[in-house]
Amino acid sequence: MESGRPAHVAMLATPGMGHLIPLAELAKRLAARYSITTTLLTFASTASATQRAFLSSLPAAVSSHPLPPVDLSDLPPEAAIEARMSEECTRSLPAIATILSELRETTRLVAFVTDLFGTDAFAAARDAGVERRCLFFPGSLHSLTLFLHLPDLAASVPGEFRDLPEPIRLPGCVPIPGRDVLSPLQERASPAYGVILHLAERFLEADAFLVNSFDAVEPEAAAALSRSKPGRPPVYPLGPLIQKADSNGGGATGTTTPDRLPRVACLEWLDRQPARSVIFVSFGSGGALLAEEMRELALGLELSGQRFLWVVRSPADDAGSVSANYYDAESKKDPFAYLPEGFVERTEGVGLVVPSWAPQIEVLAHEATGGFLTHCGWNSTLESLVHGVPMVAWPLYAEQRLNAVMLAEGVGAAIRLPEVKEKETIAAVVREVMVGEGKGAAVRAKVAELQKAAAEGLREDGAATAALDGVVENWVGKN
């Protein structure tokens, strides 16, 4: 490694804590293992208190540089998240180029890393003279494979994916039913479809793919992507990159608001529950159910007889869409008003319902937690696996259905709920994952195995560490 100035990396984190957190974890690993410093470029649209608190909690080696706000007021209010993110990135390209040029002057800038919504910035990085340009893919290797094949699929599949009579077969992947392909790809005529295709077409401009996954959770996809293919950048599975649990529950992903139980209270409640007895129910930072689904879920949890900790938000029918809370996790209305009458009273002592947000990592790390009913967001999935918590899959949008396919049909770390969610089925699946002797026992055993594999990969001699060594060697040469 060149002596003198430490190597420096610029990372572009497009809106959403789900992108920022794993990138920041990567930056922390770069600092701790190789003394590489990082500047995180962030967008104004997520300059929330949550993001500010998170950024200020990072070590000194990881600094941040907010991009100047861009005007998005001309976008229609119903514009999809993907379209918004991509547009914000495109309009920020001049600022990104300027900042990268400045960093080239003031630091030993060795690489530019962007998450998947920032692939348009590769050209800006090249123009600014940054030699190495990498794509950080915050999802699974299955999702990455789908993105890599998307330009071909778009050309060869007639009509909509959901109408395909047979599942899509991709190298190393569990067969993917057309309706489980990413939600923004479900309407060809939609702007979101065009955005995703446009981003995917730029993937090959990267020098390398840094992926937040690990071999054991999708071994065949990992094997397929590890074989070199002309024209495709090498793939480095660096995961699982997740935040560490903070014992007092003050994780940086949450903020305190008056309408919320102090987060420590739900951990205190967990302290009083028997080991592995509670199912945690949460739909990520933005997911919301339909009112009817919320009702069935409540009744299903009650019927299951299992203890539960449920993070509730007002339903999507009222909030506007299933991803209505993406930029702001706060429930739009009082979510308790949508619970069945008498539910909170009847389940007192067995269940705890908290509005909007819970310190998820601390909950998953808690010994009382024995299951996770999840929307299968990739960060949630990794957090569950790292803490050895088996899952009930209830995917909502984005790439969550694909993750659910991989978890339930592939590695066997989850049981997926059927399309129509009725209280009896919810109760049966929850019970099976928590205490069942059939499929549930197999899922619990598999998750324990994956927990071990995840920890081993991150050790000094582990696969994720070796992969990161390979990435850094490309940036700065052999030590």
Binding residues vs ligand UDP (CB under 6 A): 17-18, 21, 253-254, 282, 284-287, 311, 357-361, 377-380, 383
19 counts as catalytic:
yes
What are the CA-CA distances from residue 112 to residues 7, 104, 169, 213, 290 (Å)? 12, 11, 33, 20, 40
Among residues 114 and 282, whose Cβ is nearest to ligand UDP? 282
Using CA of residue 382, residue 387, residue 390, residue 392, what is the dihedral sign?
negative
Instruction: Classify burial at 145, counting beta carbons within 10 Å of its beta carbon; exposed 0-12, middle 13-18, buried 19 or more.
Output: buried
Measured from each CB, the residue nearest to ligand UDP is 377
Q: From the CB of 470, what's the least distance to ligand UDP, in Å? A: 26
For the record, the structure tokens of 68 come out as: 């100047």
User: Which entry of 115, 120, 180, 215 is annotated as an active-site residue?
Assistant: 115
Q: From the CB of 249, what's the least distance to ligand UDP, in Å? A: 10
Q: From the CB of 476, what's the least distance to ligand UDP, in Å? A: 30
Q: From the CB of 269, what's the least distance to ligand UDP, in Å? A: 15
User: Which entry of 8, 19, 366, 387 is annotated as an active-site residue?
Assistant: 19
Q: What are phi and psi of 170, to 5 degrees?
A: -120, 155
Q: From the CB of 357, what's the least distance to ligand UDP, in Å? A: 4
Q: From the CB of 381, what's the least distance to ligand UDP, in Å? A: 7
Among residues 361 and 411, whose Cβ is nearest to ligand UDP? 361
65 counts as catalytic:
no
- Bridge partners for 40 per DSSP: 11, 64
Among residues 260 and 423, whose Cβ is nearest to ligand UDP? 260
Q: From the CB of 396, what's the least distance to ligand UDP, in Å? A: 8
Among residues 10 and 406, whose Cβ is nearest to ligand UDP? 406
Q: What are phi and psi of 308, to 5 degrees?
A: -145, 150
Is residue 426 within 8 A of residue 297, CB to CB? The reply is yes
Among residues 183 and 306, whose Cβ is nearest to ligand UDP? 183
Q: From the CB of 264, what's the least distance to ligand UDP, in Å? A: 14
CA atoms of 261 and 273, how far apart (whole Å):
18
Pairing of strands 108-115, 7-13: parallel
Contacts of 370 (CB under 8 A, 6+ apart): 275, 276, 277, 278, 279, 389, 390, 434
Among residues 184 and 254, whose Cβ is nearest to ligand UDP? 254
Is residue 375 within 8 A of residue 283, CB to CB? The reply is yes
Q: From the CB of 387, what's the least distance to ligand UDP, in Å? A: 11
Q: Could you list the active site residues? A: 19, 115
